[in-house]
Amino acid sequence: MAAVLRNAKARTVAVTGLSILGVALVYWAGGKLGLLAQIEVGGIRVTPLWPPTGVAVAALLLFGLRVWPGITLGALLVIAGFGALTPASFGIAAGSTLAPVVAALLLARVDFRVELDRLRDGVALVFLGALASTVISATVACLVLVADDALDVDQFWPAWTAWWTGDAMGVLVVAPLLLALHAARMPRDVPLHRWAEALALLVITGGVVVVATHSPLSLLFLVLPVVMWAALRFQLLGAAPCALVVSVFAVPAAIHHTGPFAGHSILATMVVLQALNGVAALTGLLLAAVTTERDNTLRTIEQACVALAEVVNRLAPGEANHSWPPPDSDGRHTD
Protein backbone atom coordinates (compact mmCIF):
# COMPACT_ATOMS: atom_id res chain seq x y z
CA MET A 1 0.00 0.00 0.00
CA ALA A 2 2.81 2.37 0.89
CA ALA A 3 4.49 1.63 -2.45
CA VAL A 4 1.27 2.44 -4.29
CA LEU A 5 0.96 5.75 -2.45
CA ARG A 6 4.58 6.60 -3.21
CA ASN A 7 4.07 5.82 -6.89
CA ALA A 8 0.91 7.91 -7.01
CA LYS A 9 2.71 10.80 -5.31
CA ALA A 10 5.63 10.49 -7.69
CA ARG A 11 3.28 10.60 -10.68
CA THR A 12 1.55 13.66 -9.24
CA VAL A 13 4.87 15.42 -8.73
CA ALA A 14 6.00 14.49 -12.25
CA VAL A 15 2.76 15.75 -13.81
CA THR A 16 2.97 18.99 -11.84
CA GLY A 17 6.61 19.47 -12.84
CA LEU A 18 5.83 18.90 -16.51
CA SER A 19 2.86 21.29 -16.29
CA ILE A 20 5.05 23.98 -14.75
CA LEU A 21 7.68 23.48 -17.43
CA GLY A 22 5.04 23.58 -20.16
CA VAL A 23 3.55 26.82 -18.81
CA ALA A 24 7.02 28.36 -18.66
CA LEU A 25 7.77 27.44 -22.27
CA VAL A 26 4.43 28.70 -23.58
CA TYR A 27 4.83 31.90 -21.54
CA TRP A 28 8.31 32.40 -22.99
CA ALA A 29 7.07 31.73 -26.55
CA GLY A 30 4.23 34.22 -26.04
CA GLY A 31 6.76 36.75 -24.78
CA LYS A 32 8.91 36.30 -27.88
CA LEU A 33 5.86 36.95 -30.06
CA GLY A 34 4.84 39.97 -28.01
CA LEU A 35 8.30 41.50 -28.28
CA LEU A 36 7.99 41.59 -32.07
CA ALA A 37 5.86 44.72 -31.63
CA GLN A 38 7.31 47.21 -29.15
CA ILE A 39 7.01 50.91 -28.44
CA GLU A 40 9.12 53.19 -26.25
CA VAL A 41 7.39 55.00 -23.41
CA GLY A 42 9.35 56.91 -20.82
CA GLY A 43 12.62 55.41 -21.94
CA ILE A 44 11.48 51.80 -21.52
CA ARG A 45 10.14 49.45 -24.15
CA VAL A 46 6.66 48.00 -23.70
CA THR A 47 4.27 46.08 -25.93
CA PRO A 48 0.70 47.15 -26.78
CA LEU A 49 -0.35 43.50 -26.51
CA TRP A 50 1.41 41.18 -24.05
CA PRO A 51 0.25 37.59 -24.74
CA PRO A 52 2.05 35.96 -21.75
CA THR A 53 -0.40 37.52 -19.30
CA GLY A 54 -3.28 35.84 -21.12
CA VAL A 55 -1.30 32.60 -21.18
CA ALA A 56 -0.72 32.85 -17.42
CA VAL A 57 -4.38 33.50 -16.57
CA ALA A 58 -5.58 30.66 -18.80
CA ALA A 59 -2.99 28.26 -17.36
CA LEU A 60 -4.05 28.99 -13.77
CA LEU A 61 -7.72 28.57 -14.65
CA LEU A 62 -7.15 25.28 -16.43
CA PHE A 63 -4.45 23.65 -14.30
CA GLY A 64 -4.83 25.34 -10.93
CA LEU A 65 -2.60 27.52 -8.80
CA ARG A 66 0.02 24.78 -8.57
CA VAL A 67 1.52 25.88 -11.90
CA TRP A 68 2.34 29.42 -10.74
CA PRO A 69 6.12 28.72 -10.68
CA GLY A 70 5.92 28.24 -14.44
CA ILE A 71 4.78 31.84 -14.79
CA THR A 72 7.72 33.12 -12.75
CA LEU A 73 10.15 30.93 -14.68
CA GLY A 74 8.70 32.02 -18.01
CA ALA A 75 8.90 35.69 -17.02
CA LEU A 76 12.53 35.31 -16.00
CA LEU A 77 13.31 33.58 -19.29
CA VAL A 78 11.79 36.50 -21.20
CA ILE A 79 13.69 39.07 -19.11
CA ALA A 80 16.92 37.10 -19.48
CA GLY A 81 16.71 37.71 -23.22
CA PHE A 82 17.58 41.36 -22.53
CA GLY A 83 20.68 40.62 -20.47
CA ALA A 84 21.79 39.40 -17.06
CA LEU A 85 19.15 39.02 -14.38
CA THR A 86 19.15 41.66 -11.64
CA PRO A 87 17.11 42.18 -8.46
CA ALA A 88 14.80 44.36 -10.57
CA SER A 89 14.25 41.40 -12.91
CA PHE A 90 12.97 39.27 -10.03
CA GLY A 91 10.72 42.11 -8.89
CA ILE A 92 9.13 42.41 -12.33
CA ALA A 93 8.75 38.62 -12.53
CA ALA A 94 7.07 38.63 -9.12
CA GLY A 95 4.55 41.23 -10.30
CA SER A 96 3.96 39.30 -13.51
CA THR A 97 3.19 36.22 -11.42
CA LEU A 98 1.10 37.89 -8.73
CA ALA A 99 -1.32 39.54 -11.17
CA PRO A 100 -2.53 36.28 -12.84
CA VAL A 101 -2.69 34.55 -9.45
CA VAL A 102 -4.93 37.30 -8.11
CA ALA A 103 -7.02 37.09 -11.29
CA ALA A 104 -7.52 33.35 -10.80
CA LEU A 105 -8.45 33.82 -7.13
CA LEU A 106 -10.93 36.59 -7.92
CA LEU A 107 -12.54 34.53 -10.68
CA ALA A 108 -12.80 31.53 -8.37
CA ARG A 109 -14.64 33.70 -5.83
CA VAL A 110 -17.35 34.50 -8.37
CA ASP A 111 -17.75 30.87 -9.51
CA PHE A 112 -16.16 31.49 -12.91
CA ARG A 113 -16.57 28.69 -15.48
CA VAL A 114 -13.81 28.22 -18.06
CA GLU A 115 -16.40 27.31 -20.71
CA LEU A 116 -17.42 31.00 -20.75
CA ASP A 117 -20.99 29.89 -21.41
CA ARG A 118 -22.64 32.55 -19.26
CA LEU A 119 -22.72 36.33 -19.54
CA ARG A 120 -21.48 36.62 -15.94
CA ASP A 121 -18.36 34.63 -16.88
CA GLY A 122 -17.55 37.02 -19.71
CA VAL A 123 -18.09 40.06 -17.51
CA ALA A 124 -15.96 38.54 -14.74
CA LEU A 125 -13.08 37.77 -17.10
CA VAL A 126 -13.16 41.31 -18.48
CA PHE A 127 -13.33 43.26 -15.23
CA LEU A 128 -11.65 40.92 -12.73
CA GLY A 129 -9.31 38.88 -14.90
CA ALA A 130 -8.20 41.63 -17.29
CA LEU A 131 -8.79 45.14 -16.01
CA ALA A 132 -8.48 44.79 -12.22
CA SER A 133 -5.74 42.22 -11.67
CA THR A 134 -3.31 43.64 -14.23
CA VAL A 135 -3.09 46.81 -12.16
CA ILE A 136 -0.78 44.77 -9.93
CA SER A 137 1.74 43.81 -12.62
CA ALA A 138 1.86 47.32 -14.08
CA THR A 139 2.28 48.96 -10.68
CA VAL A 140 4.95 46.56 -9.44
CA ALA A 141 6.92 46.76 -12.68
CA CYS A 142 6.91 50.55 -12.88
CA LEU A 143 7.79 50.96 -9.19
CA VAL A 144 10.69 48.54 -9.60
CA LEU A 145 11.92 50.39 -12.69
CA VAL A 146 11.72 53.74 -10.88
CA ALA A 147 13.64 52.32 -7.92
CA ASP A 148 16.24 50.92 -10.33
CA ASP A 149 16.59 54.35 -12.02
CA ALA A 150 15.49 52.81 -15.32
CA LEU A 151 12.36 54.99 -15.40
CA ASP A 152 12.01 58.67 -14.54
CA VAL A 153 9.42 59.52 -11.92
CA ASP A 154 7.66 61.97 -14.25
CA GLN A 155 7.24 59.15 -16.79
CA PHE A 156 5.67 56.77 -14.28
CA TRP A 157 2.05 57.20 -15.36
CA PRO A 158 2.63 57.05 -19.15
CA ALA A 159 4.70 53.89 -18.67
CA TRP A 160 2.18 52.48 -16.20
CA THR A 161 -0.70 53.08 -18.61
CA ALA A 162 1.12 51.38 -21.49
CA TRP A 163 2.13 48.42 -19.30
CA TRP A 164 -1.36 48.01 -17.87
CA THR A 165 -3.14 48.15 -21.21
CA GLY A 166 -0.67 45.68 -22.75
CA ASP A 167 -1.29 43.17 -19.95
CA ALA A 168 -5.06 43.74 -19.96
CA MET A 169 -5.28 43.28 -23.73
CA GLY A 170 -3.22 40.11 -23.41
CA VAL A 171 -5.87 38.67 -21.08
CA LEU A 172 -8.80 39.89 -23.18
CA VAL A 173 -7.42 38.60 -26.48
CA VAL A 174 -5.35 35.51 -25.61
CA ALA A 175 -7.02 33.95 -22.56
CA PRO A 176 -10.45 33.43 -24.22
CA LEU A 177 -8.77 31.87 -27.24
CA LEU A 178 -6.84 29.38 -25.10
CA LEU A 179 -9.94 28.55 -23.05
CA ALA A 180 -11.95 28.02 -26.24
CA LEU A 181 -9.29 25.76 -27.75
CA HIS A 182 -9.11 23.72 -24.54
CA ALA A 183 -12.87 23.11 -24.58
CA ALA A 184 -13.08 22.54 -28.34
CA ARG A 185 -13.79 19.06 -29.65
CA MET A 186 -13.51 17.85 -33.20
CA PRO A 187 -17.03 18.29 -34.58
CA ARG A 188 -18.78 15.44 -36.34
CA ASP A 189 -21.10 15.57 -39.31
CA VAL A 190 -20.50 19.28 -39.82
CA PRO A 191 -21.88 20.45 -43.16
CA LEU A 192 -19.30 21.62 -45.65
CA HIS A 193 -20.86 25.07 -45.81
CA ARG A 194 -20.12 25.58 -42.09
CA TRP A 195 -16.41 24.96 -42.66
CA ALA A 196 -16.54 27.30 -45.65
CA GLU A 197 -18.27 29.95 -43.55
CA ALA A 198 -15.65 29.68 -40.81
CA LEU A 199 -12.79 30.00 -43.31
CA ALA A 200 -14.49 32.91 -45.04
CA LEU A 201 -14.99 34.57 -41.67
CA LEU A 202 -11.26 34.53 -40.87
CA VAL A 203 -10.33 35.74 -44.36
CA ILE A 204 -12.89 38.54 -44.27
CA THR A 205 -11.76 39.56 -40.79
CA GLY A 206 -8.16 39.86 -41.94
CA GLY A 207 -9.19 41.77 -45.07
CA VAL A 208 -11.42 44.20 -43.19
CA VAL A 209 -8.73 44.90 -40.58
CA VAL A 210 -6.08 45.50 -43.24
CA VAL A 211 -8.35 47.96 -45.04
CA ALA A 212 -9.42 49.68 -41.81
CA THR A 213 -5.87 50.06 -40.49
CA HIS A 214 -4.33 51.29 -43.75
CA SER A 215 -7.04 53.59 -45.00
CA PRO A 216 -6.62 57.30 -44.20
CA LEU A 217 -10.31 57.33 -43.35
CA SER A 218 -11.60 56.37 -39.90
CA LEU A 219 -12.93 52.92 -40.76
CA LEU A 220 -11.93 50.98 -37.65
CA PHE A 221 -15.60 50.47 -36.77
CA LEU A 222 -15.88 48.06 -39.71
CA VAL A 223 -14.33 45.27 -37.67
CA LEU A 224 -17.27 45.13 -35.25
CA PRO A 225 -19.85 43.54 -37.60
CA VAL A 226 -17.36 40.81 -38.45
CA VAL A 227 -16.64 40.04 -34.80
CA MET A 228 -20.36 40.03 -34.07
CA TRP A 229 -20.93 37.63 -36.97
CA ALA A 230 -18.29 35.31 -35.54
CA ALA A 231 -19.78 35.42 -32.04
CA LEU A 232 -23.35 34.79 -33.21
CA ARG A 233 -22.48 31.95 -35.58
CA PHE A 234 -19.59 30.20 -33.79
CA GLN A 235 -19.70 31.58 -30.24
CA LEU A 236 -16.36 31.82 -28.42
CA LEU A 237 -14.54 29.48 -30.79
CA GLY A 238 -15.26 31.94 -33.59
CA ALA A 239 -15.10 35.25 -31.75
CA ALA A 240 -11.76 34.64 -30.01
CA PRO A 241 -9.70 33.97 -33.18
CA CYS A 242 -11.29 36.97 -34.90
CA ALA A 243 -10.39 39.24 -31.97
CA LEU A 244 -6.82 37.92 -32.18
CA VAL A 245 -6.69 38.61 -35.94
CA VAL A 246 -7.84 42.18 -35.28
CA SER A 247 -5.01 42.72 -32.80
CA VAL A 248 -2.37 41.00 -34.95
CA PHE A 249 -3.03 43.37 -37.85
CA ALA A 250 -3.82 46.50 -35.83
CA VAL A 251 -0.74 46.53 -33.57
CA PRO A 252 1.87 46.82 -36.39
CA ALA A 253 -0.24 49.50 -38.08
CA ALA A 254 -0.29 51.52 -34.87
CA ILE A 255 3.44 51.12 -34.27
CA HIS A 256 4.25 52.28 -37.80
CA HIS A 257 1.60 55.07 -37.66
CA THR A 258 -0.23 54.02 -40.80
CA GLY A 259 -3.82 54.73 -41.79
CA PRO A 260 -5.96 56.18 -38.99
CA PHE A 261 -2.95 56.07 -36.65
CA ALA A 262 -0.93 58.53 -38.73
CA GLY A 263 -0.14 61.96 -37.36
CA HIS A 264 -0.91 61.14 -33.74
CA SER A 265 1.30 61.11 -30.68
CA ILE A 266 2.28 57.83 -29.07
CA LEU A 267 -0.29 58.33 -26.32
CA ALA A 268 -3.11 59.09 -28.77
CA THR A 269 -2.10 56.16 -30.96
CA MET A 270 -2.12 53.78 -27.99
CA VAL A 271 -5.53 55.05 -26.91
CA VAL A 272 -7.01 54.39 -30.37
CA LEU A 273 -5.31 51.00 -30.64
CA GLN A 274 -6.38 49.77 -27.23
CA ALA A 275 -9.90 51.08 -27.79
CA LEU A 276 -10.06 49.03 -31.00
CA ASN A 277 -8.61 45.90 -29.38
CA GLY A 278 -10.73 46.28 -26.27
CA VAL A 279 -14.01 46.89 -28.09
CA ALA A 280 -13.41 44.00 -30.50
CA ALA A 281 -12.52 41.60 -27.69
CA LEU A 282 -15.34 42.78 -25.43
CA THR A 283 -17.93 42.59 -28.20
CA GLY A 284 -16.89 39.11 -29.25
CA LEU A 285 -16.49 37.73 -25.72
CA LEU A 286 -19.74 39.06 -24.26
CA LEU A 287 -21.87 38.39 -27.34
CA ALA A 288 -20.49 34.85 -27.56
CA ALA A 289 -21.31 34.29 -23.88
CA VAL A 290 -24.85 35.62 -24.34
CA THR A 291 -25.39 33.45 -27.42
CA THR A 292 -24.07 30.33 -25.69
CA GLU A 293 -26.20 31.01 -22.61
CA ARG A 294 -29.27 31.45 -24.80
CA ASP A 295 -28.61 28.21 -26.69
CA ASN A 296 -28.09 26.31 -23.43
CA THR A 297 -31.35 27.69 -22.07
CA LEU A 298 -33.23 26.63 -25.21
CA ARG A 299 -31.77 23.14 -24.98
CA THR A 300 -32.80 22.90 -21.33
CA ILE A 301 -36.34 23.97 -22.20
CA GLU A 302 -36.51 21.44 -25.04
CA GLN A 303 -35.30 18.65 -22.76
CA ALA A 304 -37.84 19.65 -20.13
CA CYS A 305 -40.63 19.60 -22.75
CA VAL A 306 -39.59 16.15 -23.94
CA ALA A 307 -39.48 14.86 -20.37
CA LEU A 308 -42.88 16.40 -19.64
CA ALA A 309 -44.35 14.83 -22.79
CA GLU A 310 -43.05 11.42 -21.69
CA VAL A 311 -44.64 11.84 -18.25
CA VAL A 312 -47.97 12.86 -19.78
CA ASN A 313 -47.82 9.93 -22.18
CA ARG A 314 -47.30 7.51 -19.30
CA LEU A 315 -50.15 9.01 -17.27
CA ALA A 316 -52.53 9.35 -20.21
CA PRO A 317 -51.34 7.33 -23.20
CA GLY A 318 -51.89 9.15 -26.46
CA GLU A 319 -52.60 12.52 -24.88
CA ALA A 320 -49.06 13.77 -25.45
CA ASN A 321 -49.55 13.41 -29.18
CA HIS A 322 -52.51 15.78 -29.25
CA SER A 323 -51.98 19.19 -30.81
CA TRP A 324 -51.20 22.19 -28.68
CA PRO A 325 -52.92 24.52 -28.07
CA PRO A 326 -56.17 22.56 -28.19
CA PRO A 327 -58.87 23.67 -30.64
CA ASP A 328 -61.82 25.72 -29.42
CA SER A 329 -65.43 24.72 -29.75
CA ASP A 330 -65.46 25.69 -33.45
CA GLY A 331 -62.53 23.42 -34.20
CA ARG A 332 -60.12 26.28 -34.54
CA HIS A 333 -56.85 26.53 -32.59
CA THR A 334 -56.77 29.35 -30.08
CA ASP A 335 -53.77 31.66 -29.83
Question: The pTM is what?
Answer: 0.83
Most distant pair of Cα atoms in the chain: their distance: 90
Cα distance from N-terminal residue to C-terminal residue, the chain: 69
Q: Is 327 helix (H, G, I), strand (E, B) or coil?
A: strand
Instruction: Write out pLDDT tens, residues 138-171.
Output: 999 999 999 988 888 888 888 898 899 899 999 9
- Please report the pLDDT score of residue 130 as a whole number: 92
Q: Are 283 and 120 in contact (CB under 8 A)?
A: no
User: Cα–Cα distance between 113 and 227 in angstroms, integer?
Assistant: 22
Q: Which of 56, 282, 293 is nearest to 173 (CA)?
A: 282
Beta bridge partners of 39: 46
Q: Which of 184, 287, 196 is nearest to 243 (CA)?
A: 287
Other beta carbons within 10 Å of 146 = 17
C-alpha dist (Å) from residue 27 to 24, 32, 48, 103, 284: 5, 9, 17, 17, 24
Beta bridge partners of 333: 327
Instruction: Write out pLDDT tens, residues 33-66.
Output: 988 888 877 677 788 889 999 999 999 999 999 9
